[in-house]
Every structure is written in structure tokens, then in C-alpha cells.
């Protein structure tokens, strides 16, 4: 989401005559787009700002700004702590050209009002070249999970119009993009004059049958049958769903205000698997939510064994001031949280390894990303189910579709030989 927002910020600034540079010593303006979801993400920004402050000492005219959720949460205190010039939250990026201009003449500027309507519908994001593009289709979140700061830093849910999203996708296809990811904190809340997210997904898939379409994130409570049917009906809607569970214990889920039970979640997974054969599922899991017992942690492990996710993003609970869970205290000792997290990570690695191993011998449809990270003799790409596949380099370019026979697998990567081409 922050990468997509950064492209929007670059789009706004580019229109006012600014252009990006990769070299920080060449920059006249440095803007950090930030995340508040866990303490660790914020600490990294504080450290980064300390480094930048040293650079500012050598170049006093440098304009430095903080954008995103930390700007929204910490507001003017960021100016006091780091002496930055600009602090702008997620809904006020249109003010950036004026605030940056003001900063050049020495004024500090702040924009942290949240909006019920801002979707940056008319802003053309400044995208780097490639085959994959993000499109943010809804902003904000009304779910108020008790651990989560996002509803406070990103404000209420609002959606872009279906016609503007489809027009943007048409444009991206013309420019050569081959894969689109529709983004939102909870895409299932998407609504535009009676069109829901399933309608939007179908409309985007219909733009070009050769375009791969992905989306994230879905809240398990409102992933509709209609959405499952849309994915099953369109070959180019990728068979991959990120479905954060957070915990395997109904008691903890209730304390988290997730509004579903373990049983509801497992029934949803069965329904998805029966209607979309071969679908890949990934999840988010939090270890050590306040009051989580050892038995409840084991329920998370047993849910993971039952679902057998293809992948997972796993975190230690991080208390966020202002959230309802903050008032529960942070009663699980650090070493217990860490041990539970490492059990969760080891189990997931074992499961991912087994799931990938079961694909050895299969021939998979792979979209080429480019040279592999490790060797120029190899290229890498991704399957429809979002698995990374490494194969011998050939005359393929990013965006090409090749058929790869899988010969070997680890928990993170499939390795194989190209046996045919689809493009």
C-alpha cells in the first residue's frame, strides 16, 4: 500500500515539476513514506531520520518530510524530535507541492487531516517501468481490529469508481503492464454505486484475458461467494488469496474483534478450496496477543496444520498506543512471544516446503519477471499462485508466459526446466 501511495505522491510532485532521483546526495527533497503498524517499523524510520539529519547538517537547504501513517500518528512531535520540514498524512498528499515550495523558503508545513472522500482517483501514479502495477482501489479501514492502528492513521473506508479503475487498467495494458494488483486494507468493502468488489474484479479481468489480476487484502468475514465464483470463472484472476487469520483461537479472535470464529474461518477455507481447485492461500498471524494462553497459541499451530497455507506473514504482537488492545496491557513476556513466533515460523516453513515439494513433476504456467537474483544464467518468474520459479535463462523477456516443469523445491522457491512457451 505504501509503495502504491509513493507512486501517487511522485505523480503529484511530478506534475509540479519534480522528478525522482535514486541518489540521496543529489536530492533537494527527501520524503520518507512511513508505516506505523508495528513499533519496529517506526523505529527504523527514527533511525533513518537520525542519519538524514546528519546529511542535513552538511546541506542545510535540504527539505526533509515524513509522509504516511507515522506522520498521521505523531504529527508535530516529529518536527520537534527530528526537525523535519514537512509532516503529511495519507489523505493530504495533494498539499505536498505547496508544502515543499514553502519549505524551500523556510516554513514548516503540516497536513494531517483525514478525509472521508479522498481516493486520488484523478491522480496518475508515477510508476517505475516493469510488468507489474499496483492500483489502490479503496482506502482506509472501518474494521477496528483491536490491535490495529490503521483505522486511526488511514481513516474511514472509501472506494474509487469502477469506471476510473477500469480506465486505468486499460491504460496500463496499453503501456505494456502484464500483471495488476488491486489494493485495499480490506478490498471486500469496496463499493461504488452498487458495484461490489466481485464486480470490480470481473470488470478488470475482462479488460484483457492475457492480463494477470491479483488483489490484497481480504478480511475473512466478508469474502463473498460471488467473489469466489468470479475468481473461479476467470482464468486470468489469479488463484491466490491472502486471507489473514491472525489467530486460531476463537476466544482470541473475539478479543481482537475479528468478527469470525475459528470454525467460520475453516469453513470458508473449505468452500474456497472446493470451488477454486489448486488455489493458494496465505495468511497473517500475530503471536502473543494480550492474554493469549499457551493452549490458545497451540490452537493457532493446529489451525495452520489444518489449513496448510502456501505462505504466511508472521509477527510478534506490538502494542500500539490508542488502540483498544493497548488498554489490555502487554502481558505476554517478550521471550514467550518470541518462542511462540519461532514455533509458528518453523511450522510454516515445514508446511511451505511440503506444499512446494508436492508440486515437483507438475508443469506450471509462469510469468517471467527477469534474471534471477542469484545467477545470470537463471531467470525467475511467478506462477498464477504467486510462487517464485527459477529456470535456465533463455530468450525470454519480462511478462512472457512460459511452461516450466518443476524438478526441485524448497520452502521459498520452485526450480525447473522450460518445456514450452505460451506467448
Per CB under 6 A, which of residues 176..195 are in contact with ligand SF4? 185-186
**Residues whose CB falls within 8 Å of the CB of residue 97, separated by 6 or more in sequence, listed in order:** 12, 13, 15, 16, 18
| Site string (225-264) toward ligand SF4, x via CB under 6 A | ----------------------------------------
| Residue with smaller CB distance to ligand SF4, 148 or 390 | 148
Choose from ligand SF4, ligand 5AD, none: what does 186 bind? Cβ within 5-8 Å by kind.
Answer: ligand SF4
| Residue with smaller CB distance to ligand SF4, 65 or 90 | 90
Dihedral, CA of residue 327, residue 332, residue 335 and residue 341, to nearest 10? -90
| Residue with smaller CB distance to ligand 5AD, 111 or 290 | 290
| Residue with smaller CB distance to ligand SF4, 287 or 388 | 287
Q: Which residue in 8, 71, 145, 253 binds ligand SF4 (CB under 6 A)?
A: 145
Q: Minimum distance between the CB of residue 13 and ligand SF4, rounded to whole angstroms? A: 27
Q: Which residue in 1, 8, 86, 150 binds ligand SF4 (CB under 6 A)?
A: 150
For ligand 5AD, the binding residues (CB under 6 A) are: 37-38, 147-148, 244, 246, 284, 286, 315, 317-318, 320
Q: Which residue in 73, 127, 212, 219 binds ligand SF4 (CB under 6 A)?
A: 219
d(CA 192, CA 372): 40
Instruction: Using the rule CB under 6 A, give the single segment among 74-82, 148-156, 176-184, 247-255 that binds ligand SF4.
Output: 148-156
Q: Minimum distance between the CB of residue 244 and ligand 5AD, rounded to whole angstroms? A: 4
Choose from ligand SF4, ligand 5AD, none: what does 315 bind? Cβ within 5-8 Å by kind.
Answer: ligand 5AD
CB 114 within 8 Å of CB 156: yes
Asked if 418 touches ligand SF4 (CB under 6 A), the answer is no
d(CA 380, CA 400): 11
Q: How many CB atoms lie within 10 A of CB 19?
A: 8
Amino acid at each position: 500500500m505504501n509503495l502504491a501511495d509513493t507512486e501517487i505522491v511522485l505523480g503529484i510532485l511530478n506534475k509540479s515539476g519534480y522528478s525522482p532521483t535514486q541518489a540521496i546526495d543529489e536530492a533537494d527533497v527527501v520524503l520518507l513514506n512511513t508505516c506505523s503498524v508495528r513499533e519496529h517499523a517506526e523505529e527504523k524510520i527514527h533511525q533513518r531520520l537520525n542519519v538524514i539529519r546528519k546529511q542535513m547538517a552538511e546541506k542545510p537547504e535540504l527539505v526533509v518530510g515524513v509522509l504516511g501513517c507515522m506522520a498521521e500518528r505523531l504529527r508535530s512531535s516529529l518536527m520537534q524530535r527530528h526537525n523535519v520540514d514537512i509532516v503529511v498524512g495519507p489523505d493530504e498528499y495533494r498539499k505536498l507541492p505547496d508544502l515543499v515550495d514553502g519549505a524551500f523558503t523556510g516554513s514548516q508545513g503540516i497536513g494531517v487531516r483525514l478525509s472521508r472522500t479522498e481516493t486520488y482517483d484523478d491522480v496518475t501514479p508515477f510508476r517505475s517501468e516493469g510488468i507489474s502495477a499496483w492500483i489502490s482501489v479503496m482506502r482506509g479501514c472501518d474494521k477496528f481490529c483491536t490491535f490495529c492502528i490503521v483505522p486511526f492513521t488511514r481513516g474511514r473506508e472509501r472506494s474509487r469508481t469502477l469506471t476510473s479503475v477500469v480506465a486505468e487498467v486499460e491504460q496500463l495494458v496499453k503501456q505494456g503492464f502484464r500483471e495488476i494488483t488491486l489494493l485495499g486494507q480490506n478490498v471486500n468493502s469496496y463499493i461504488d454505486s452498487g458495484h461490489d468488489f466481485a464486480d470490480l474484479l470481473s470488470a478488470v479481468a475482462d479488460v484483457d484475458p492475457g492480463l494477470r489480476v491479483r488483489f490484497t487484502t481480504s478480511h475473512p468475514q466478508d469474502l463473498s461467494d460471488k467473489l469466489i465464483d468470479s475468481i473461479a470463472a476467470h482464468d486470468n484472476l489469479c488463484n491466490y488469496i491472502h486471507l489473514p487469520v491472525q489467530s486460531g483461537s476463537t476466544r482470541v479472535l473475539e478479543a481482537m474483534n475479528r468478527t469470525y470464529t475459528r470454525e467460520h474461518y475453516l469453513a470458508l477455507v473449505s468452500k474456497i478450496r472446493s470451488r477454486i481447485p489448486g488455489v493458494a492461500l496465505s495468511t497473517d498471524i500475530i503471536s502473543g496477543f494480550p492474554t493469549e494462553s499457551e493452549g490458545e497459541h497451540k490452537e493457532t499451530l493446529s489451525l495452520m496444520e489444518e489449513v496448510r497455507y502456501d505462505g504466511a506473514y508472521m509477527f510478534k504482537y506490538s502494542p500500539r498506543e490508542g488502540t483498544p488492545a493497548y488498554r489490555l496491557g502487554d502481558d505476554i513476556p517478550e521471550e514467550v512471544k518470541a518462542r511462540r513466533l519461532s514455533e509458528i515460523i518453523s511450522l510454516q516453513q515445514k508446511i511451505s516446503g511440503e506444499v512446494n515439494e508436492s508440486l515437483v513433476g507438475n508443469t506450471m504456467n509462469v510469468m517471467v519477471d527477469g534474471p534471477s537474483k542469484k545467477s545470470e544464467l537463471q531467470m525467475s518468474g511467478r506462477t498464477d499462485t504467486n510462487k517464485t520459479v527459477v529456470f535456465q535463462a533463455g530468450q525470454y523477456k519480462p511478462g512472457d508466459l512460459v511452461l516450466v516443469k518443476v524438478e526441485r523445491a524448497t520452502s521459498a522457491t520452485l526450480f525447473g526446466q522450460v518445456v514450452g512457451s505460451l506467448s
